[in-house]
Amino acid sequence: MRRKGEFILYGLSKYKETIDEIICDLGVCNDGFDIRLMLTEALTNSFKHGNKGDKNKPIYLRYFYYGTYINFEIEDCGNGFHETQIYDTALEEDILSNSGRGLFIISSIADKMEVKNNVLILQKQLKV
C-alpha cells in the first residue's frame, strides 16, 4: 500500500493538527509519539531557522507511506545546512539549555535522515 500527502504551513499555528491528521489518516498510532516528536522538532526548526520566524514563508510537509515505513520531507525557504551540523550542534550546546537539540532528537528517532539543500528527508520504520 502506498499513500502520500502534502501540507503547506505558514507559521506553526496548525502544526499539531496537521501531524495528528497524518497519524490518524495512516493509522500509525503505535508510532504516534515518535512521529509527533520528530515532526514537531523538524517543523519548529524549519520555521525558526529556515524561514527566520516569518509566517508569510511556507513550510512544505510531504509524506509517503509504504506500509512498513514512512518517508517525510520538510522543506522551508532557508539555505539548508550540512548534515555534520547535526552532531556538532548536539556536542556544543549546553546540556541544560532549553533549545538547540532539535536535529539531534530528530536523528535519534528517525531511522534514516538526509539533507538535500533546504529539504530535510526522514524515514521512520513502523512497528507492525
Q: Summarize pLDDT for 31-65 with one digit per residue, the tens.
A: 999 999 999 999 999 999 999 999 999 999 999 99
Q: What is the pLDDT of residue 92?
A: 55
DSSP 30: G
Closest CA to 13 of 37, 43, 41: 43
pTM for this predicted structure: 0.87
Confidence of residue 11 (pLDDT cuts 50, 70, 90): very high
Q: Which domains occur in the chain, in start order? A: 3-125 (3.30.565.10)
CA-based R_g, the chain, Å = 14
